[in-house]
Homo-oligomer: A and B are copies of this chain.
Amino acid sequence: MALTPARTMPGVLELLPLDQIAFQRMLDVIRRNYERFGFLPVETPVIEYSDVLLTKSGGETERQVYFVQSTGALGKADEGTPELALRFDLTVPLARYVAEHERDLSFPFRRYQMQKVYRGERAQRGRFREFYQCDIDVIGKDTLSVRYDAEIPAVIYSVFRELAIGPFTIQLNNRKLMRGYFESLGIVDGEQQMLVLREVDKLDKRGADYVRDTLTGEAFGLSAEVAAKILAFVQVRSTTLQDALDKLDALGAGPEAMEQGRSELKEVLGLIHAFGVPQTHYALNLSIARGLDYYTGTVYETTLNDHPQIGSICSGGRYENLAGQYTKSHLPGVGISIGLTRLYWQLRDAGLIDTAKSTVDVLVTQMDEAQLPAYLALAGELRGAGIATEVVLEGGKLGRQFKYADRAGIRFVAVLGEDELARGVVTVKDLRREDQFEVARGELVKTLRVELEQAAAMG
């Protein structure tokens, strides 16, 4: 029989077990922190009805959608858009979920969702067709206090502190402030404001000259003076909480939208402080706009101080109405998303991911086939104490068994030979410390537990 080549499509990140463990640890940290802040888990189906998924989205998204057809539906001509498709984000499914289950949910509804989404991207390094999004959102019924906008950075801080991938800054802005400021410069048309907003969002990537040229160019036709004012505005960054408040005041009076944005930002900044986020970890950045039309107030981006090239690792903001396409209820909300697949890939690329540790703590070796029951009893005790343990069931040379443990990233190897059995002890080899010790059989669980707890505490 001819062999089929074993392969996956481009744009998916399939990991070897030790890498998967590192990835899973990140997922666990994110989930633990989301839960700690009182967010509830939701999972939605990967497959949704196409008409449900595509109510809102523009052409770009539609071109990237994966459609799904069961065998029976294939080949039926003239069908137009297939009935089913894979979700391309978690926000549209959230809107559908909240609209569908509205009567069964308590509001403000706080949910987290950590699942994969699918986009038919062009195959290209760093572009993923399947990737994890780890989202939180708080959804209000009719209204939602701006205070929730201050809670989100507290969650971001908590997540990335525990992920321990280096110093980071949560950057904040407010779309009302931006649009109000543009209005004060004579840009009163909402559409035009959005276009300017999208241009200035490119500031950190393309630089001031590019943005200035665009704004004064044919497409926008703004005066040099107005462009200069916009550039001065979007270049505002703060260093401390007081500095942020001062810089907001220094912008001068403006139209209603601007005053509203400023007051929201001030309240949010003050509360972020009360939430215990240190001033070193958040800042005003008036160029942050986020591309999507969808955001209406506070917007967030988070960057790694030492790796600016990675870009934002966690973004989001406040929106006016989550599910207007499905329900007449008014559902304002605020949320963020961590694109974990891309983040993991970039961190690994930058050498920031450690992959040497296994989930397996102990390998019990096999010296003598006849003693298998003793090995199994030992493993049973370790497992009973929550210590992940593998037993060599097939035997072979001890050297090979050690090599297997080493290659698999298992830290402890337990040896229970004739001599150890006679003396009621176990020899333990610590492959991480390249050390070896003997411990009384009855003390083994306790000893290893202490070692493993210490290692866990040290990260």
Residues of A whose CB lies within 8 Å of any CB of B are: 1, 3-9, 12, 14-18, 20-21, 24, 35-38, 40-49, 51-52, 55, 62-72, 74, 81-82, 84, 86, 95-97, 99-101, 104-106, 108, 110-111, 116, 118, 120, 129-130, 140, 144-145, 147-148, 151, 158, 271, 274-276, 323-328, 358-360, 363, 372-373, 376-377, 380, 383, 386-391, 393-394, 404, 407-408
Q: Name A78's closest neighbour in chain B (CB-CB).
A: B75
**Which residues of B are found within 8 Å of A394, using beta-carbon distances?**
108, 140, 144-145, 147
Q: Given A359-B40, A376-B274, A388-B35, are A99 and B6 also a contact pair (CB < 8 Å)?
A: yes
Q: Given A62-B71, A393-B151, are A17 and B45 also a contact pair (CB < 8 Å)?
A: no
A-B contact pairs, 6 of them (CB 8 A): A1-B325, A9-B47, A9-B84, A35-B388, A46-B46, A69-B69
**Whole-angstrom distance between the alpha carbons of A36 and B452 in the complex?**
14
A377-B274 in contact (CB<8A)? yes
Q: Name A144's closest neighbour in chain B (CB-CB).
A: B394
B68-A68 in contact (CB<8A)? yes
Among all A-B residue pairs, the 3 with the closest Cβ atoms: A38-B390, A70-B120, A6-B99
Q: Name A270's closest neighbour in chain B (CB-CB).
A: B373
A327-B68 in contact (CB<8A)? no
**Which residues of B are found within 8 Å of A358, using beta-carbon distances?**
40
**Which residues of B are found within 8 Å of A372, using beta-carbon distances?**
147, 271, 274
**Which residues of B are found within 8 Å of A106, using beta-carbon distances?**
404, 407-408
**Whole-angstrom distance between the alpha carbons of A271 and B388 in the complex?**
20
Q: Given A99-B6, A130-B46, A274-B372, are A74 and B63 also a contact pair (CB < 8 Å)?
A: no
A110-B390 in contact (CB<8A)? yes
B66-A67 in contact (CB<8A)? no
A82-B74 in contact (CB<8A)? yes
B52-A275 in contact (CB<8A)? no
User: Can you tell how many copies of this chain the complex includes?
Assistant: 2
B74-A70 in contact (CB<8A)? no
A380-B70 in contact (CB<8A)? no
Please pick, from B55, B104, B116, B324, the residue contacting A16 in the complex, using a CB distance under 8 A.
B104
**Whole-angstrom distance between the alpha carbons of A358 and B41 in the complex?**
10
A118-B47 in contact (CB<8A)? yes
**Whole-angstrom distance between the alpha carbons of A228 and B104 in the complex?**
56
**Which residues of B are found within 8 Å of A48, using beta-carbon distances?**
8-9
A393-B17 in contact (CB<8A)? no
**Whole-angstrom distance between the alpha carbons of A145 and B140 in the complex?**
58
Closest Cβ of chain B to A139, distance in Å, is: 12
**Whole-angstrom distance between the alpha carbons of A325 and B38 in the complex?**
48
Closest Cβ of chain B to A88, distance in Å, is: 11
Closest Cβ of chain B to A300, distance in Å, is: 17
**Whole-angstrom distance between the alpha carbons of A63 and B74 in the complex?**
10
Q: Given A373-B274, A376-B275, are A43 and B20 also a contact pair (CB < 8 Å)?
A: yes
Known: A21-B40, A106-B407. 18 other contacts (CB 8 A): A3-B325, A3-B327, A3-B328, A6-B52, A8-B49, A8-B96, A12-B47, A16-B104, A17-B42, A18-B40, A20-B43, A35-B359, A37-B390, A67-B69, A71-B120, A145-B393, A147-B393, A276-B376
Most chain B CB within a 10 A radius of its CB, from A47, A96, A99, A408: A47
